[in-house]
Amino acid sequence: MGQVIAVFLQVMVLLLVPMGILQVHTVVQTHDELLEVSAAATKYISNHGGRGDAEVLSKVRAFIAKELTEKSFSLSEEELIVRVQRSRAADPVLWSHEDEFVLQAEIPFPLFVSWFPVGEKMKVERHGTVNMMDYDL
């Protein structure tokens, strides 16, 4: 009877350990890609500014779509939720010099197997400052 239990435990370990390692690898890779995309989007906003919230958000979404296709990330553009909000603004419309903003990016938590308990969403928040002057826009 002891051998049956030992074999059963060995089989469970042989199945669960590789799946757990693959799950951890998937989560780490997705988080790294989300960090890289959010950093690139923050830099893009800092260097380009914009003429309104809608224009900035649409340009950021287009930039992220371009980044995802060029670098062949595993992130999906449909699953990626991006929010950009100014925290300090000199002009209510124009995103210009020294305006501060917060970029939030989130995706559903990547699952390789559903046996492991995980959070619902993976989130990244970045803070930045617009470097463009209003006459450059």
Domains of the chain as residue ranges with CATH: 2-129 (3.30.1300)
Share of the chain above pLDDT 90, in %: 41
Question: Average model confidence (pLDDT) for the chain?
Answer: 85
Other Cβ atoms less than 10 A from the Cβ of 105: the count is 24
pLDDT score of 123: 93
CA torsion through residues 52, 54, 57, 63, sign? negative
Distance CA 123, CA 45 (A): 19
Helix and strand tally (H, E) in the chain?
Answer: 2, 3
Task: Compute the average pLDDT of residues 74-94.
Answer: 89
This prediction has a pTM of 0.81
| Of 16-20, 34-38, 49-53, highest mean pLDDT | 34-38
Residue 120, helix vs strand vs coil: coil
pLDDT score of 11: 78
CA torsion through residues 109, 31, 64, 56, sign? positive
Give the confidence band of 7 by pLDDT, cuts at 50, 70, 90: confident
Say yes or no to pLDDT of 106 above 90. yes
Distance CA 34, CA 103 (A): 12
pLDDT score of 71: 85
Task: Compute the average pLDDT of residues 13-21.
Answer: 70
